[in-house]
């Protein structure tokens, strides 16, 4: 009976440890399982001051499961705590490539509108406004899961930070089942009073739309 109890503790604590790692480690698109859980329940995964609140329960669960798991394995594995920390770090580092591989496998038959994904967390842009002219240089990461070439329209959006700036959209063709890096420059104009402004942004806001399937 005692052996069964010890075994059940090992199994439950190991499952909780694995679940907690999966809930807080970033997926290929920069989001976490906790983000999806929070949003499915109607809550925002980020606070107004920029705190990533959805991962807090996962972090608490991780340390609780780590302590429980280390205690359960301490007789058979003296350095259980250290071993489990390295094991969970290895598991966390493998989640992003594993989920990206899964996305390419599962979304290859998805509708055209869902076959192209803009990876915001990997992308970055810098903008420069001089009087009425606006320019933005970007490095963008696009995944295309479908089996045919797609022509997409991309347009920067600075409305959250700077009002009255409009950029011209640009079109690109992405190859089937590809991970594409686009380095480009957008031009536009500033509608307000002539001004000067510059800045850099990780995770830039862009509007990406599929125009048509290239022949």
Residue 180: which of 135, 150, 215, 214 has the closest Cα?
150
Co-location of 118 and 78 in the same domain: no
Alpha-carbon distance 71 to 68, whole Å? 5
Instruction: State residue 18 phi and psi, 5-degree precision.
Output: -65, -45
Q: Tell me: the pLDDT tens digits for 68-97?
A: 888 888 766 667 777 788 888 888 889 999
80 and 22 share one domain = yes
For residue 6, what are the domain limits? 2-106
SS3 assignment, position 167: strand
| CATH number of the domain that residue 189 is part of | 2.70.40
CA distances from 32 to 26, 53, 129, 152, 202 (A): 5, 11, 35, 27, 18
Domain boundary among 106, 130, 149: 106
pLDDT in tens, 30-58: 999 999 999 899 888 888 777 889 899 99
Read off the pLDDT of residues 128-170 as tens digits, 9 standing for 90 and up. Answer: 888 888 899 999 999 999 888 899 999 988 777 777 888 999 9
End-of-domain residue from the set 57, 81, 106: 106
| Same domain as 50, residue 32 | yes
Q: pTM of the prediction?
A: 0.80
Q: What is the largest CA-CA distance in the chain?
A: 79
Q: Give the total number of structural domains in the chain.
A: 2
């Amino acid at each position: 009976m005692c052996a069964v109890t010890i075994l059940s503790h090992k199994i439950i604590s190991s499952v909780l440890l694995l679940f907690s790692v999966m809930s807080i480690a970033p997926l290929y698109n920069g989001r976490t399982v906790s983000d999806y859980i929070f949003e499915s329940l109607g809550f925002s995964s980020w606070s107004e001051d920029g705190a990533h609140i959805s991962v807090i329960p996962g972090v608490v669960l991780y340390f609780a499961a780590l302590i429980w798991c280390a205690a359960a394995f301490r007789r058979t594995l003296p350095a259980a705590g250290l071993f489990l920390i390295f094991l969970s770090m290895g598991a966390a580092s493998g989640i992003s490539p594993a989920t990206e591989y899964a996305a390419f496998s599962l979304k290859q038959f998805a509708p055209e509108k869902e076959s192209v994904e803009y990876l915001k967390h990997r992308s970055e842009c810098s903008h420069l406004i001089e009087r009425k002219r606006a320019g933005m240089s970007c490095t963008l990461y696009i995944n295309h899961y479908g089996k045919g070439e797609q022509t997409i329209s991309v347009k920067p959006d600075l409305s959250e930070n700077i009002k009255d700036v409009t950029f011209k959209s640009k079109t690109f063709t992405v190859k089937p089942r590809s991970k594409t890096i686009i380095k480009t420059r957008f031009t536009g104009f500033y509608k307000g009073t002539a001004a000067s402004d510059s800045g850099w942004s990780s995770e830039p806001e862009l509007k990406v739309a599929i125009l048509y399937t290239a022949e």
